[in-house]
Structures are given as structure tokens and as C-alpha cells.
Amino acid sequence: MGKAQDTEIISNGINRICSGTTFIGNILAASDIRIDGVLEGNVTTKGKFVVGETGHIKGDVVCKNSDILGKVNGKITASDFLALKSTANITGDVTTEQILIEVGAKFVGYCNMSGSGGHPNKNKDAAAPAASQK
């Protein structure tokens, strides 16, 4: 019984990599994760993923919700909601249902809003009538 209780406590906890710590490897978690240090690897969580102001991720992220205050170099997939705070610095593509980008956030990449039908200008030229030649 002690082991089941320990597992329950861990799965409901928040995983954290503190400032001044570098972690090299992939993380797979059922609960929330907060990174204030450096992570070189991919992250997959069923919970919320937070990158603090001093955090730096070099890898891909898959999560339910995310708040980014630090740096991410990689693809971010947030199934529900992604918030890029004013101190965020993102280099990589983003896929999410909803996104909030605060003034001051830096984002270089492509954003795909699931359910929006894709990029709004994707077929713009194909729909335009051909110009007649004289």
C-alpha cells in the first residue's frame, strides 16, 4: 500500500528543474513541470508546462497548457492553451488551440491554431481569377 500512495503523491506533484541546473535528456510526466534551469531534450506531459524567466529549453515540448516566460528553441504543441509572456523568446513552430502573446514576447516560427482550418492565406492565390493576357 505504501508504494501506491507514493505513486499517487508523485503523479499529483509538480516536477521542477531549478535555476542553475542543467538537465540533458527527455522528460515524460503525468503532472505539471516547471523549468527555471536548462533542459536539453524533449518534454511530454499531460499537465501544464511552465518555462520560468531563467529557463531555457533546447528541444520539443508536448503538453496540455503552457506558460512561457523564458527561452524555447524547438517545436511547442499545447493541446489547449499557450501563453507567451512578455519575456518569452521562442524559436520554433507552435501548434495550439488558443494562444496569448503578450507585448514584448519574441516569436520566430509558424503558428498553427488547431481547428482554425490551417493557414488563412494558404490558398489565396489559387482562388484569385487569372488575369487575361492581351
Q: Which of 37, 39, 36 is nearest to 23 (CA)?
A: 39
For the whole prediction, is pTM greater than 0.85? no
Sign of CA dihedral 37, 41, 34, 101: positive
Dihedral (C-alpha) 66, 69, 73, 74: value to the nearest 10 degrees?
10
What average pLDDT values come out for the chain (134 residues) when binned by 10 residues?
A: 40 82 95 96 95 97 97 97 97 97 97 63 44 45
Residue ranges of domains in the chain: 10-103
